[in-house]
Chain A
Amino acid sequence: MNATVKKRKKIKKEEVVGVVLAAGPLLGFFIFGFIPMVLAVFMSFMKIRGFSFDGARLVGFENYRYVFTDPKFGKAMLNTLYAAVSMPVSIVCSLFIATLLNKKVAGTKVFRTILFLPYVCSVVAITTMWKWMLNTDFGIINEILKRLGVEKVPWLTDSTYFMPSMLIMGVWGGTGFGIILYSAALGNVSKSLYEAAKIDGANRRQQFFSITVPSISPTTFYLFVMGLIGALQDFVRFQIMGGDGGGPGESGLTAVFYLWRMGFKNFIVQGMGMASAVSLILAALIIIITIINFKVSKYWVHND
């Protein structure tokens, strides 16, 4: 009798201890994630001046109407999609490089160390580095082009070349992450599949496309989803490279850049309410894309 009570008490105690110990990150999310999220919905229907609710008033869908009819928002969305082009390029490059690393030639360890390096470097440092290399008059890129007989390209000062510059930098800095994930995935592809394919007389290329690519499709899927979510929120490197104005002719004005300027720079005229509307539009887009990705992934991602 006494023993069962004790046991029950102990179980009850374990229930409490388990919940308390596990709860930290959820509590953090509730305070710093959930509460702001709910607030963002309310804010998107309000006209807010500056950084306080004093004098704020409900304006219905006015903020959304403004954003959807603002040609700058359309431009920012197009710029964001343009910038996102570097993501699939990075994925293909990282798969190619990871395949090379997987062949285990001499010096693989050294190569791996070098190829992952941009991944640990700060966006500020990388952007500063490329700002110097892409400098029209003194940069190495134009110097190399000059030796090849190409005219000086105004990489960062002309609206036509600004985004291509950002794409080059994006691929350079973004490939390391994919290489790490693909290297791990390639190491896990079962050797017996290749042996079987060899016996069946499949050449290297057939092996790559019918064994390797399907086997690592979960990694490709993951990189694609994370890449897209990241690309839709891309902002920092554009602000560092192009300044608060968004680069030449606002060619580097991305969606989050547009949001940031609304809420944190033009906070009297446009303000936090409008910026919240933009953030909800973006979040909705990201969530829709994520859900579609999960549905579609059934058809081409092989999980086993």
Chain B
Amino acid sequence: MIKESKGIKAGERAAKILTFTALTAVALLILVPFYIIVITSFKHNTESMGVVFTWWPQEGFTIEGYRNVLFSDASGGGSLSTILAGFKNTLVIVVPATLLGLFVSAISAYSFAKIPFRIKNKMFSVLLATIMIPGVIMLTPSYLLYDMLGFVDTRFPLMVPGMFGSAACVFFMRQYYFGIPTDLVEAAKIDGLSHIKIFFQIMVPLSSSALIAQGVLGFVGGYNDYFGPLLYLQSPAKYTLQIALKNSVSTYGYDWQTVMSGAVIALIPTTVIYVFAQRFFIEGIATSGLKV
């Protein structure tokens, strides 16, 4: 009897060790590429182009790559380097679009969850159906329309559509608002509060974690976007960070230490946000199945 339970325990332990080893192996597969770009960014150029790959800089560390990418390169024509200007341009586009879009989606979700009106179900079904429509159809006509209206090479096509919110975000927030008791809304209505006031004074504070989750996802999606800026931005002064990073590969050709420095800088903001807001992230993705 005792022997048997010991056998099971030993078996469980072996299984745990095996699981741990497998997870370590997979984690290494993910981490090694990140390690390689970080270590390459600190290598002297002669070494990164060396015949033998080195896991650790043999000729010592250098921050020349970072200096190139942050300070000396100004091919964008401004006072800032291309990467820094790109970072600024990205924030100018993404921050207002994300915040306003989040607000519009959330208040729409509140209405769908808590305000009774007759055509609610019809409106919601239409909204859900829009998720199924592949974005590729909108590519050519949108561009033509923007071009005719004079919005090509402006930030307008990258900002304004997002400011109307997104169906997926409405869906996520609506689920969340269903979880908040309707009695709370009814009580506030009796007290004479308007729906706008109920939303801001009661719903926003109660749903802050869900709002953060959606805000973070929206920000990361906008920050990482490449296709939109590729289509619509033409003058280098307006290039976003991702476009600047893509271009640095051709500008610096074989200067890999500089290219990798740019990549590391571009990855830092999303990685930091992710590590600190991991809980919100996973919650947001797991509940809505959103793809950034």
Residues in A lying within 8 Å of B, measured CB to CB: 14-15, 17-19, 21-29, 31-33, 35-37, 39-40, 43, 48, 51-53, 97, 100-101, 103, 105-108, 111, 113-125, 128-133, 138-140, 143, 172, 177, 180-181, 183-184, 222, 226, 229-230, 232-233, 235-236, 239-240, 256, 259-260, 263-264, 272, 275-276, 279-280, 282-283, 286-287, 290
Contact = CB atoms under 8 A, between A and B. Distances in A.
Given A40-B138, A52-B144, A24 B104 contact: yes
Given A25-B164, A40-B141, A239-B230, 15 more contacts: A18-B111, A24-B108, A26-B123, A43-B144, A51-B143, A51-B152, A105-B19, A108-B23, A111-B26, A120-B270, A120-B281, A121-B271, A138-B49, A276-B140, A282-B136
B123 A19 contact: yes
B134 A121 contact: no
B242 interface: yes
Nearest to B171: A25
Interface string B222-242: 011011001100000000001
A125 B266 contact: yes
Interface residues of B, number: 101
A183 B286 contact: yes
8 contacts: A17-B117, A100-B19, A106-B20, A124-B245, A129-B263, A132-B260, A143-B53, A279-B137
A97 B107 contact: no
B2 interface: no
Contact of B135 (A39, A181, A233): A233
Contacts of B267: 121-122, 125
Given A132-B40, A226-B289, A279-B140, A24 B53 contact: no
Given A25-B170, A121-B270, A240-B226, A115 B259 contact: no
A36 B141 contact: yes
Nearest to A219: B289
A228 B148 CA distance: 33
B138 A37 contact: yes
Given A28-B164, A118-B30, A132 B36 contact: yes
Contacts, number: 282
Contacts of B144: 39, 43, 48, 51-53, 272
Binding site secondary structure of chain A: helix
Contact of B291 (A51, A140, A230): A230
Contact of B30 (A115, A124, A131, A260): A115
B164 A32 contact: yes
